[in-house]
Chains A and B, each alone.
Chain A
Amino acid sequence: MYILKNALKSITRNKLRNILIGIIVLIISISACVSLSIREAAQAAKEDTLSGLQVTGTISFNRQKAMEEMKKSSSSSSSSKSSSSSTKTDRSKFDFDVLQGSSLSLSDYKKYAKALKSGDSYYYSGAVSLNATGKILPYGTSEDDDSSLSSSSSKSSSNSNSGNMQPPGDNNNNNSNTQNNQDGMGHQPFQVNQGDFSITGYSSYKAMLSMFGDDGSYKITKGKMFDETSDALECIISNELATYNSLKVGDTIKLANPNYEKETYKLKIVGIYKNSDSSSEENNRFQMNDPANNIYMNYNAFTKIIKASAKANHKMTDSDGNKTSAKLTENLAFTYTFKSVDNYNSFAKKVYTLGLSDDYTVNSNDLQQYENSLLPLQTLSQTAIWFFIIVLAVGGVILITLNIFNLRERKYEVGVLTAIGMKKAKVALQFVTEIFIVTFIALIIGTSVGAAVSVPATNTLLANQIQSSQSTGNNVKENFGFKSDDNNGTPPDNNGGPMGKMFGQSKAQNYVDSVNSATNLFVVMELVLVGLFLTIIASLAALISIMRYEPLKILSNRS
């Protein structure tokens, strides 16, 4: 093929010009290779992290959104959903009945579970506060406190199940129960409920395991675990509580509805557990209750208590003198578990088609946590892509300019070639071939260099990125909707205070900070596309001017 031969000859004849073009393409291809490799590494890291990852998700009321809406119009409480909330809520900026208003019931959650895919599942737990009654005393109280704790009715009302009690270790429970019997306290809904005992019923051992974590800090030391399925009122208690009250396996404890002291329940102790973590400060801090006062049972049994309380439906008088129901209301925590991130994402979409309102969001703290760990790499990747685009654009412009100048010199050549009968298309093909060869030689060199430096370059850039991420790390915490909660404002330290830890922040600090391989076949293929793009860009001027050339001009061009 003489066109190729001519092209090669032409390249060697015009060394200087082609070296110049080559250098530009070389610069473009090195930066393109590094940028694309960074993006590829980011993608790979994301897939590595997220593939095969089992995540949990919860449905929660979009509190932040609701609060912001309330902030805008403080009069909203009068028109709010809360039905029997007293007028006192007008004093408050926020209508906490609404804010806490996720009134999703167990059957709702189970209905939404239809959006799960095979391999996914769910578990749940209910929690409620009960008061000590009879001989038993909560761990950490003295006899002196007893009278005030167990007798006064005003105490009862303040002990109303305000629903801020969290099942231990469960981060996802935003849906608090409120049945409007917390009048007078409505403006302080986040007040810690010191109801003597926190009773939690788990749907399965698996639920318990998930909530306690599998670090082995919980251990049955005496007796056995409660039966997973039975609805017998059996429970396990902490060894602190057992020792404090001289309780042993087989004993029965009597607990009372804090709203209505005469409503009591008897639980049989089948096991005593030890929580080696119980003294740790962080547990105490966000668990509201002393963990030693946590009593665990299975959900079937637990729900019997709730139902019995609803059936009894005792009335109590609140501080305003109104009569309201004293029934126990459970604090339900429902967690979906997903086999994969894809399943989670599909659930998060599909659940709305099953009738979930827009006021609720599906979220996954563990997924969020993994995604945060990828943040610096993702940011770097985005920067790299912008850099790539800019280099490509600038390089393209330079190449076009260079080629326009070249063509002025080569017009005579085009004239001669067409005058002696070479078709314009073939002339164009020769010119494009020349550019193509130069571009691809430079591209191959550039890719080799780029591939060699991409890993160290990525890691160095990533280190810088992480450094700057850490200095702006607080922003990440704001993503958790804590902005509006002044008391629990973001801790100044980045390495996750207890609050941070609770919301998965401590792990998020373990950024993905290195990549192993970056340039892969895909990147090489993209670089080939880049090469083609540059060839086309650079040839464009040549093509246009050749096609417009009139061979007759050669006759008037008597140089």
Chain B
Amino acid sequence: MSILKLENISYHYDRSKVMVLDKLNMDFDEGKIYTIVGKSGAGKTTLLSVLSSLAAPTDGKIFLNDRDITKIDRYKFRSKYVGVIFQSFNLLTHLTALENVILSMDISGKKFNRPKKEIALELLRKVGLDEEEAKRRVLKLSGGQQQRVAIARALSYDPDIILADEPTGNLDGETQDEIIGIFRMLADEGKCVIIVTHSPDVAKASDITYELKKPDKAS
């Protein structure tokens, strides 16, 4: 049984009539890392926003554990079941890294067996931010550091599915490996990790790779 299943998903943005996603069928299982590759503008980010329920598909159905996703509250879905690492991070830049992480934990409404601050600091350390950096405003962190905060935030409330849009785009090779290591660890814990990437290295490290192509304009 796949945790996430796409059936004939199509999508186009409100204003434009160009199909960005055209009748996609995909299966995502627990405990595996998926990579989605494709040229710029192929619709990778769009797919992630459909998967994270930020956008509702124009056509087709998505199932979460065989349950139609439209029956689940979109906000609850985002705050509990999926952790999204946005291509542009979408951190609250005037908050500290730590505050950003804790905020997500607050919003999830989940109960934690340890103080949130402790969990958050540990997570941030895991992705490579020390306590001083964790307590710095995001605005004053480098791009790579911000990306790590975004990763920590997505993991903080222990979601079943992790969606990452170019999570290693701003990281050096060494850190990239570290991050992939983390994703592998999460997959081993039974999570479903879906990564959008341009990096062949990341694709190689994954279990399954989907290639996304621009839908044929003629069709």
Contact = CB atoms under 8 A, between A and B. Distances in A.
A551 B77 CA distance: 14
Question: For this complex, into which size category does the number of interface residues on chain A fall?
Answer: 20 to 34
Contacts of A454: none
A554 B90 contact: yes
B94 A420 contact: no
A421 B104 CA distance: 8
B55 A552 contact: yes
Interface string A384-421: 00000000000000000000000000000101111111
Contacts of A424: 75
B45 A423 contact: no
A558 B49 contact: no
A421 B54 contact: no
B108 interface: yes
Interface in A163-198: none
Nearest to A425: B75
A551 B103 contact: no
Given A415-B90, A552-B49, A420 B106 contact: no
A510 B156 CA distance: 76
Contacts of B107: 2, 417, 420-422
A135 interface: no
Interface in B97-122: 99, 103-104, 106-108
B33 interface: no
A413 B54 CA distance: 16
Interface residues of B, number: 26
Given A416-B92, A420-B78, A421-B80, A555 B49 contact: yes
Contacts of B106: 2, 5-6
B74 to A, nearest CB: 8
Contacts of B87: 555, 558
A420 B49 contact: no
Interface string A528-559: 00000000000000000000000110110111
Task: Give the 7 A-B residue pairs with the shortest CB-CB distance, closest first.
Answer: A421-B79, A421-B78, A2-B106, A558-B88, A422-B107, A423-B75, A416-B90
Given A9-B95, A554-B86, 19 more contacts: A2-B103, A6-B103, A9-B99, A413-B92, A416-B92, A419-B54, A419-B84, A419-B90, A420-B90, A420-B104, A420-B107, A421-B77, A421-B107, A422-B79, A552-B55, A554-B90, A555-B54, A558-B88, A559-B88
Interface of B: 45, 49, 54-55, 75-80, 84, 86-88, 90-92, 94-95, 99, 103-104, 106-108, 153
7 contacts: A2-B103, A418-B75, A420-B84, A421-B77, A421-B107, A555-B87, A559-B88
